Amino acid sequence: MNLCLTLILIVVCIYVDARYIEPKLLWVKEEQVATGKLAAGTQVKVVLFNDVHLGEYYSLEDFKKIINKINEQEPDVILFAGDLIDDNKTYKEEEGGIALLSELKAKYGKYAVYGNHDHGGNGTKRYARMMKQSGFILLKDKNEKITLDNGEQLCIIGIDDIVLSKPKFEEAFVGTDESHFNLFISHAPDVVEYVKKMPIDLQVSGHSHGGQVRLPLIGAPLTVPFGTQYIKGFYKPEEKEDMVLYVNSGIGTSKLPYRFLNPPEITVFEIKGL
């Protein structure tokens, strides 16, 4: 009898954590990326966030806390790797989302790419409008060069979502220079298999939610298309020794409002010249 009660208590605790506690937490993960493509002493702070999924399970009040936390980092660059609204057909608070995104401040600018939910529900034009009105540069198969205070350049490359669209990989890299530090944004992480031969130093992605629910010894039992091979954290893609991939676990949830052993996160990259 005691064993049954203990098991029931454990199940209840796991449910409460996964449904009500963990989805409201936030990890600020700090990572360092060293590169010989920037002069020694050069430091660029880049904050990455993604997969907000504003909607039934993630409110503007929840999002406000994320906005404040990002601004606390005093970033040089802010990157949003897609999936702002969970369901464009039902979401009615566009102006509130624009207002919050507009509060984000970054020395060298704010950049975004499309996620699959940004296209879904006829959201393509809406997302582009929201990004523009909130001061983000939307990188749809193109790149932008940032000139740092010391005159050096860093290139940010972004592509369209691969789940509901057809990114033009080669077009995105037109004009890039292998001698620059090239930061590539793709909503879906498994895209790395298509771009490994491109001049990329760091790829950042989301989409997978880190599996959203992770189990001890097993990891993520459920994955999503183009997020099955690279799910959470740092990876070193095969045949590409000078490139690293980072997959962020995201902010909100989709399909089911649960997170377990996998809290929401923003990632703060300190890119340092050697």
- Model confidence over 192-245: pLDDT tens digits? 999 988 999 999 999 999 999 999 989 999 999 999 999 999 999 877 778 999
Q: In degrees rounded to 5, what are phi and psi of residue 175?
A: 85, 0
Q: Which amino acid is at 210?
A: G
**How large a percentage of the chain has pLDDT more than 90?**
90
The residue with tokens 């600020």 is: 28
Whole-angstrom distance, CA of residue 16 vs CA of residue 53:
21
Virtual torsion, Cα 198, 199, 200, 206, nearest 10 deg:
-30
User: Buried b vs exposed e over 230-256: b needs ≥16 C-beta within 10 Å?
Assistant: bbbeebebeebeebbbbbbbbbbbbee
pTM: 0.96
Which of 244, 269, 103 is CA-nearest to residue 184? 244
How many Cα atoms occupy the beta-carbon half-sphere of 5 within 13 Å?
2
Q: Exposure of 194 by Cβ count < 10 A (0-12 exposed, 13-18 middle, 19+ buried)?
A: middle
Q: Which residues are 32's β-sheet partners? A: 270
Level-2 CATH architecture, domain 2-273: 4-Layer Sandwich (3.60)
DSSP class per residue in 79-127 = EE-S--BS-TTT---HHHHHHHHHH---TT-EEE---HHHHTTTTHHHH
Q: What mean pLDDT do residues 91-100 have?
A: 97
pLDDT digits (tens, 9 = 90+) for 145-175: 999 999 999 999 999 999 999 999 999 999 9
Q: What is the rounded average pLDDT for all residues in the chain?
A: 95
What pLDDT score was predicted for residue 1?
62
